[in-house]
Structure formats: C-alpha cells, structure tokens
Amino acid sequence: MQFKDVIGQAAIKQRLIEGVQENRVSHAQLFSGAEGVGKLAMAIAYAQYVNCRNRTESDACGECPSCKKIQKLIHPDLHFVFPVVKTPKFKDPVSDNFLDKWREQVLKNPYFNLNNWFESIDAENAQGQIYVSESSEIIRKLNLKTFEAEYKVMIIWMIERMNVQCANKLLKMIEEPPPKTLFILITENEELLLTTIKSRTQLVKFLGIDPQAMAQAIGPQAETAGKNIQGVVHQANGNYLEALNLLYPDDQKAEYFEHFTNIMRISYKRDWLPLFEWVESVSTMGREQQKSFLLYCLRMLRENFILNLRQPVLNYMNESETAFSERFSPFINERNILIFTEEFEKAHRDIAQNGNPRIIFLDLSLKITKMIRA
C-alpha cells in the first residue's frame, strides 16, 4: 500500500514523509483516531515508504522487491499484532495463528473495524485481546536481525486491547528497541492505554477524512448505488467505513436500528412482555456485538438530542434513522440526556467486564421505561 492509496490525511502523509527524508523516524509512534479514518492503511503505507529502495519525494516506488512484498503483506521484516480469541485449537493464541485471515481482511479492505475482524475469525461471544503470550513473540521477532529491509516494522493494531501483563512486558522493548526498529501502535481510544505506554510514543493524531477526499473516494460507488455523494459524505462525517455502510447497508446496522427503536417504543408503552422478549433477543448476541450495539444507542441518543436544535448540519443520521427521530427526538431532552448517557455507558462497561447480559439489559430496559417519560 502506498500513500496515494490512503484516503485524505494529506498533512499526516507529509509529516511522515519529511521525517523519513530528514532521518527523523521516531522508533515508537502512536496513530490515534476514530475508526474509518485510515490509521492502519497509513501505517502500512508508512512501513512501505520507510523500506522502499527507490522512494520518491512523495511516495514509495511500488516496484522494488520490498514494496511488492509489503503490498502482499508477506515481507519478513513487517510484523503485525492484533486482537485474537482463544479457541479449542489455540489455548494461548498469538497473532501469527490468525495471520492468513488477517492478510485476507487487510487486502480486501484496510478500512475495517473490530466487529468486521472478529466476524472474519468467528469470534462469536468471545472478547478479543492481545494476550500476554504475544509479548514473547514480539520480543523474539524484534531481537532477530533484519532479513532484507532497513527497518523492522511492528504494527500493533488496537493496542488498547492488549492486556496489562503483555503491555508491561513490552515497556522496555518499546522504550529501547534494537536499532532500526519501528513500532507503529494503532488505537481508537488512547485513554484506555497505560500511561507508561503513551509516554514512550510519539502521538500522531488522526482526524476525520476531509469532505473533498471522501467525495473523490466514494464518487464512482455512490453514482453506481444511485446515492447523493454530498449526502453520503456529510452522514459519514469523516469515516470511510461508515460511508461504505451508507452505500451498501449491512444487516448488522439495520439490526441495531431495529433493536433501538423497539426498546424505545416498548419502554414508552410500558409493554412488559415484549420488553422481556427484547432482553432475551439482545442477550443472545455476541458480547462484541452487544458492546457495538450500546455504542450505536449512545450515538442515536446524541443525534436525537441534537435534532431538537433544528440544525440539520449537526446531524449525521441516515434516512431511516432520521424518519424515526423526527417523532422520537422530543423524548430525549435536557432533562434526561445525561441520565440516558450514564446508563448506556454503564451497561457498556458492565458487558465489557463480562457481566451477565440478561441482567444488564433487563436493568437497562427497566430504567429506560422510567427515564423516557421523565
């Protein structure tokens, strides 16, 4: 992958290029930003540029042996670490156990999220982590001499999923790696990282993809799908993955929307039997899906609260969400928005801590019946 394949983010591209040209490559960099803004794509393009034998002032050549191997994700000096799950086959899993699936996912589209990744490895109800066993593999790989590249590159995707034991074992390696070693740590929530990890890295902050670059990237697909380009760009709000979901709606987003509208209607009516049926339905989802659903609910609560301001430019909902919210938004107001937010955030935290989903969602749904009429 070359810089030209990364959508937007021109300022970051220039910053990384200048660092290489001026021989100022920081050995540990933290790429931080929301999903869908191109952090992983940029990391791979950066690794390719650093090790390109014929790089230009603006990009890797794409033709040298190093570039060709990195483009196929098979370069011996390019390493990946990412969240994995325990299976009957892998009791102490490491990323290499799932490397074929990882290559397939990245080559298909480097703009993906945790749910996409876990679905590709059939994670089901498991919560993926970067386990302590991974630390030994990282240290072993980076202590080897480079095979053919100038830099050994270790890309750790979603480092906030690294457990504490693993992170602590890597502190020394991240602070003082072998010569010509480059750590690229990727996160969507740097607040979840250990302070000792953050303090050892150089922060590269990713903002949303700019509208012009987004429009250029989705233009042909939007025309094929019969969608208004500017409408999709606005709703995506800098998130290329969301733009793709708007162009080609997936069943999961539709399922989340249905669950959200159902619980709000049921709670307003105080219809108890359907409420218990709703709890049973969402409790059967995988734990990662439950967390994603709760984040979706938080987004919808925010959108409905903002909708009351009657400023369309501040809203980022699709047609179905907008149609529902036009009628529902008055029930989300300054008297209850903070309480709603706190309860959904608490449910998300409890699910992440392996709480019983039936108890958590029953408690949440009963509180919604009280809050929605407040």
Distance between CA 294 and CA 223 in Å, rounded?
32
Query: Which residues have CB under 8 Å from 4's CB, separation 6+?
Result: 59
Amino acid letter at 206?
Answer: F
Domain chopping of the chain, boundaries: 3-205, 211-248, 250-371
Determine the Cα–Cα distance for residues 122 and 241; give it in Å rounded to an integer: 21
User: What class is the 3-205 domain?
Assistant: alpha beta
Kindly give the confidence (pLDDT) of every residue in the chain, 374 residues in length, as a single tens digit, with 9 standing for 90 and above.
999 999 999 999 999 999 999 999 999 999 999 999 999 999 999 999 999 999 999 999 999 999 999 999 999 999 999 999 988 888 889 999 999 999 999 999 999 999 889 988 887 667 789 999 999 999 999 998 888 889 999 999 999 999 999 999 999 999 999 999 999 999 999 998 989 999 999 999 999 999 999 999 998 888 776 778 888 898 888 999 999 888 887 778 889 999 999 999 999 999 899 999 999 999 998 888 899 999 999 999 999 999 988 887 787 888 889 999 999 999 999 889 999 999 999 999 999 888 999 999 999 999 999 898 76
Q: Are 304 and 329 in contact (CB under 8 A)?
A: yes
Phi-psi region of 180 (alpha: psi -120 to 50; beta: other; left: phi over 0): left
Question: What strands lie across the sheet with 202-205, from one edge to the other?
Answer: 78-81, 152-157, 181-187, 28-32, 202-205
Query: Regarding the domain delimited by 250-371, which CATH topology (the fold level of the hierarchy) does it fall under?
Result: Zinc Finger, Delta Prime; domain 3 (1.20.272)
* Euclidean distance between CA atoms 223 and 236, whole angstroms: 16
